[in-house]
Amino acid sequence: MTLQHFMKEAISPWMRENGPDNDIVLSSRIRLARNFAQYSFPILANEADLQHISEFIRQEYEHQSFQDYHDFAFVPVKDLTPIERRVLVEKHLISPHLAEQDHASAVLISKNEQVSIMVNEEDHLRVQLYYPGFQLNKSLNKVFELDDWLEGKIDYAFDEKRGYLTGCPTNVGTGMRASVMMHLPALALTQRISRMIPAINQLGLVVRGVYGEGSQATGNLFQISNQITLGKSEEDIVEDLQSVVRELIEHERTARNHIMSQSQTRLEDRIYRSYGIMTCGRIIESKEAAKCLSDVRLGIDLGMIENVSRNILNELMVLTQPGFLQQYAKKTLTPHERDVLRASLIRERMQLEN
- State the binding site for ATP: 27-31, 92, 126, 177-181, 208-213
Alpha-carbon gap, residue 349 to 216, rounded angstroms: 26
Question: Which residue, 53, 67, 72, is CA-closest to 153?
Answer: 53
Report the binding-site residues.
Answer: 27-31, 92, 126, 177-181, 208-213
Distance in angstroms (rounded) separating the CA atoms of residues 354 and 352: 5
Would you say 80 and 127 are in contact if contact means Cβ atoms under 8 Å apart? no
Number of C-alpha atoms within 13 angstroms, CB side, residue 321?
25
Terminal CA-CA length for the chain: 33
For strands 221-226 and 205-208, give the pairing. Answer: antiparallel
The three-class DSSP label of residue 98 is helix
Q: Are 129 and 72 a contacting pair, CB within 8 Å?
A: no
How many Cα neighbours within 13 Å face the side chain of 28? 23
- Other C-beta atoms closer than 10 Å to the C-beta of 2 total 9
Estimate the crossing angle of helix 286-301 against helix 310-319, to 10 degrees.
Answer: 170
